[in-house]
Amino acid sequence: MSASILDGIKVAEKVRELVASDVSEWVQKGNRAPKLQVVLVGSNPASHSYVNAKTKACNEVGVESDTLVLPDTISHNELEEVIYSYNADINTDGILVQLPLPTHIPQLAAIEAIDHRKDVDGFHPMNVGRLTIGQPSFKPCPPAGILELLDYYSIPTKGKHAVVIGASNIVGTPMSVLLSRESGGAKSTVTICHKFTRDITRHTIDADILIVAAGSPGLITGPMVKEGVVVIDVGINRVADHNREKGYRLTGDCDFDSVSKKASWITPVPGGVGPMTVAMLMKNTLLAAKKSLYPGK
């Protein structure tokens, strides 16, 4: 078999078009445009490029955005005060604190400082908890984007064996919850593998759907997967490439050449989950503006 491509660039564009038309309807009704406040701490080049991708998407769909860049010398108390001011600002619908934060700032404390009703990344424990019990919540963008991609290509998930590699709070854990839930989820049977899993091939070889979010380039190779598997590669690794202008290229956690020979579907890197992640942020920001998840609160 030779895999078909799950085209994240194309599907993200469709998602953005839908959001753009919903935004314009919302504004036509007399509401102000949704507003996303981005807080970016320090000078990590990858973080700056992610924030650029997000503000560009905002422009495209008619979401207003503002980026506050703070020095990495800021204390966690100062950062939290900044977040509180956006919580209190009635013109701010969504607040996004770009991760990772410098190591002296406790990440969870910063996330918990965000009003959960403005937490468009879906990282606040209120949203994580509600997601886990199947209640309306902001869904983390990467897993939400992956489900959107599977849905767009009509890939069956009910009763399938989904294997998730990586158990991070941002991708692996919420992904496994969304895949496994019977209502509002993908209705799959889920295995989670992580750094203590012995013999991961024993699990990957049995996957109907394989979600790889390990942050380890080339971790998954052809011999580790079953013929016909659907592969979602969430890895975004910068590897040195002197033939490229920037001196690096992006590569996933899968050895694309060998895995794509056996898979039925596969996401490319770049151009797979990444663009979907950014598009889902637009969806969440519109939801935040409409206050539809947490009405009356």
Q: Which residues bind ligand BQF (CB under 6 A)?
A: 50, 53, 99, 236, 269-271, 274-275, 277-278
Environment class of 161 (CB within 10 Å of its CB; exposed 0-12, middle 13-18, buried 19+): middle
Q: Which is nearer to ligand BQF, 23 or 278 (CB)?
A: 278
Residue by residue, what is the 3-state secondary structure of 196-237? CCCCCHHHHCCCCEEEECCCCCCCECHHHCCCCCEEEECCCE
In the complex, what is the shortest distance from the CB of residue 239 to ligand BQF, in angstroms, rounded to a whole number? 14
Whether residue 56 lies in the annotated active site: no
Place of tokens 């056996």: 262
Q: Which is nearer to ligand BQF, 63 or 236 (CB)?
A: 236
Single out the catalytic residue among 22, 35, 98, 253: 98
Closest CA to 227 of 262, 181, 251: 262
Q: How many CA atoms lie within 13 A of 123 on its CB side?
A: 23
> What is the phi-psi region of residue 24: left when phi exceeds 0, alpha when psi lies from -120 to 50, beta otherwise?
alpha
In the complex, what is the shortest distance from the CB of residue 278 to ligand BQF, in angstroms, rounded to a whole number? 5
Q: Which is nearer to ligand BQF, 62 or 145 (CB)?
A: 145
Contact 106, 80 (CB under 8 A): no
Single out the catalytic residue among 7, 22, 119, 121: 121
In the complex, what is the shortest distance from the CB of residue 157 to ligand BQF, in angstroms, rounded to a whole number? 22
Whether residue 283 lies in the annotated active site: no
Q: Which residue is nearest to ligand BQF (CB)?
A: 274
Q: Which is nearer to ligand BQF, 10 or 202 (CB)?
A: 10
Q: Which is nearer to ligand BQF, 100 or 223 (CB)?
A: 100
In the complex, what is the shortest distance from the CB of residue 97 to ligand BQF, in angstroms, rounded to a whole number? 10
Burial code (b: 16+ CB inside 10 Å, e: under 16) for 255-283 equals bbebbbebbbbbbbbebbbbbbbbbbbbb
In the complex, what is the shortest distance from the CB of residue 277 to ligand BQF, in angstroms, rounded to a whole number? 4
Residue type, 112: E
Q: Which is nearer to ligand BQF, 269 or 286 (CB)?
A: 269
Single out the catalytic residue among 35, 54, 139, 283: 54
- Positive or negative: CA dihedral 46, 49, 54, 57: negative
Whether residue 89 lies in the annotated active site: no
In the complex, what is the shortest distance from the CB of residue 268 to ligand BQF, in angstroms, rounded to a whole number? 8
Q: Count other C-beta atoms under 10 Å from residue 20's C-beta.
A: 16
d(CA 93, CA 114): 11
Which residues are designated catalytic?
A: 54, 98, 121
